Amino acid sequence: MSKLEHFKKNRKKIAPMILLTLIISGLVYYYLIMETSYTGQAEAVISTNPAEVSGKIVESNIALGQEVKAGDIIAVIDTRDLEYALVQLKLNLEKAIIQNADAQTGQDARAQSSIAAAQAALNGAAAAAEKARQDHEKALALFADSAITESALEAAKLARDTTASNLSAARAQLELAQNNSTGSLTASTSVDILLLESRIAQQEDLIKKCTVTASADGIVISKNYRAGDFVAPGYNIADIAANSEKLLVVYYPKEQISDIQYDKEISFVYNGTEYSGPVKFIDVKPQYTPQDFQTQANKNRESVKIKILIPDNCTIKPGETVKVNL
């Protein structure tokens, strides 16, 4: 069979194959060259709510997905030990005021009474400190045997530290009462009164900080501690996705990043409505495009993460995705 006869016999098979090749080439050209849409995912600015004092959480009624307002209670930390210390400080303040009044009147007998009162206070503080020390040592032994929780151990340590602080203050009070004359006592107790008032204000501020409130309007997206847990200062109790600002995360090919500038308006469509927002973040480090963000425009390519500010009138929720045309 000649080549011409062979070609005539198979041309009906070759024509569809050529047509299919052309169609595939056209599709490849469209998706790789013409397709310029990218996946954008909405994210909220996260507002943290850390504890400022240590202690056991006695109340935490928030739930994941709950909408909260700034100032709503996130958690309440146990204040009993702090309130006990506050009572002791106030008693010491009353005592200092009495001592100051006695010095001003120049009554030696009252000065002796102040010394006796300071000694009595010292004796009481020493007894309380010793008991707290013994309780803490017992707690250490029980904790080593796994008989008590870490929260109970921390509570015992806090009680020991508090009573030790009260004991130091009582010793200072007695020393002032014993060593100062009536004339000098007036000045020293005046200073002591100011110091006690400062410590009382500080203690009251710590008690206020035991109530942790929401730092922003938004939705609770994480709850790291529950009622009964022990929390330390700086540890985040809950995260809130703030309503005040939302961003659209997009991955753009690194070789084309020169097309994107800060504050450039980028458009996207959500629920059939077109919105636009300025570029507020451009990452300096390229990375492989995450799978959830891959489109034909950035698939199998290194990309740079950018963030677009979502306008307030767009109701998109964190986690939702849209197509972004760049």
Class of domain 50-76+211-239: mainly beta
CA atoms within 13 A on the CB side of 206: 19
Q: How far apart are CA 295 and CA 40, in angstroms?
A: 10
Q: Select from 41, 43, 73, 78 the least CA-distant residue to 60.
A: 73
Which DSSP string do the residues of 15-55 spell out, in sequence order? HHHHHHHHHHHHHHHIIIII--EEEEEEEEEEEEEE-SS-E
Fold of 35-45+242-325: Elongation Factor Tu (Ef-tu); domain 3 (2.40.30)
> Element (H or E) spanning 306, and its range?
strand 302-309
Note the pLDDT of residue 28: 46
Q: Let me know if the fold of 35-45+242-325 is the same as that of 50-76+211-239.
A: no
**What are the structural domain ranges in the chain?**
35-45+242-325, 50-76+211-239, 80-209
Note the pLDDT of residue 66: 92
Note the pLDDT of residue 31: 46
Q: How far apart are CA 223 and CA 243, in angstroms?
A: 18
Residue type, 289: T
Q: How far apart are CA 12 and CA 293, in angstroms?
A: 43
Q: What is the pLDDT along the chain (326 residues), one digit of tens a residue?
A: 554 454 455 555 555 555 556 555 544 444 443 456 788 899 888 889 999 999 999 999 999 989 999 999 999 999 999 999 999 999 988 888 887 776 666 556 666 777 888 888 888 888 888 888 898 888 888 888 888 888 888 888 888 889 888 888 888 888 887 775 444 445 666 788 889 899 999 999 999 999 999 998 988 989 999 999 999 999 999 999 888 788 999 998 888 888 888 999 999 989 989 999 999 899 878 887 777 777 776 676 788 899 999 998 888 888 888 888 76
Contact 40, 289 (CB under 8 A): no
Other C-beta atoms closer than 10 Å to the C-beta of 199 total: 18
Q: How far apart are CA 92 and CA 192, in angstroms?
A: 10
